[in-house]
Amino acid sequence: MSEHYINYFKPPFGLLLLESTEDVLLRVQWVKNKDIPETETRPILEETKKQLQEYFDGEREIFNLSFNARGTAFQKKVWKVLRTIPYGEIKSYKDIADAINNPTAPRAVGRANNKNPLNIIIPCHRVIATSGLLTGYAGGIEIKRKLLEMERHYLRNFAAIPRPD
């Protein structure tokens, strides 16, 4: 079994635990405090922190990291679709169920979201209830709201910047 490494990342709100093997990211999880001791770092953890900082600074919309999202075949199918949701946009659990050709499975999609081991990297925060309400998120509803507001803020500001023809 390969060794696992733990680091933390402190965004503008909340705290993220980062876990990896030597060169593959395994987990980005919202936590309340540093219950698990930090280990020495690895290049994959440093790159994850760099890309997360760029995301929170409004400079990154898509993550380019080597990761292994461990889960069931169904969960992996859901997570693959989540990665296609554009920065600053939202989809409903029903939209995701339809996208995986399983239109009667919005609740199962919600459970798959709940098991997402790579918060932010796999953007489950961009999924809301069909009613438009913000529902369940590993970091809590307030963090989900802040992430969505942050993405929309950066998108609006970026769209306002004149681009050369």
Give the tens place of pLDDT for each residue, 85-102.
999 999 999 999 999 999
Reply yes or no on whether 124 is catalytic.
yes
Full residue range of the structural domain in which residue 33 is found: 5-56
Verify that 100 and 151 share a domain, yes or no: yes
Verify that 77 and 155 share a domain, yes or no: yes
Verify that 33 and 77 share a domain, yes or no: no
pTM of the model: 0.89
49 or 134: whose pLDDT is higher? 49
Please pick, among 124, 128, 147, 150, the residue that the annotation labels catalytic: 124
Closest CA to 45 of 31, 30, 62, 65: 65
Is residue 30 classed as helix, strand or coil in its secondary structure? Answer: strand
How far does CA 42 lie from the centroid of its chain?
20
The CATH number linked to 83 is 1.10.10.10
Share of the chain above pLDDT 90, in %: 80
Does residue 23 sit within a domain? Answer: yes
Verify that 115 and 153 share a domain, yes or no: yes
Does residue 66 sit within a domain? Answer: no
135 or 125: whose pLDDT is higher? 125
Is residue 36 classed as helix, strand or coil in its secondary structure? Answer: coil
Q: What is the pLDDT of residue 157?
A: 60
Verify that 83 and 153 share a domain, yes or no: yes
Non-local (6+) Cβ contacts of 10 within 8 A are 16
Verify that 138 and 79 share a domain, yes or no: yes
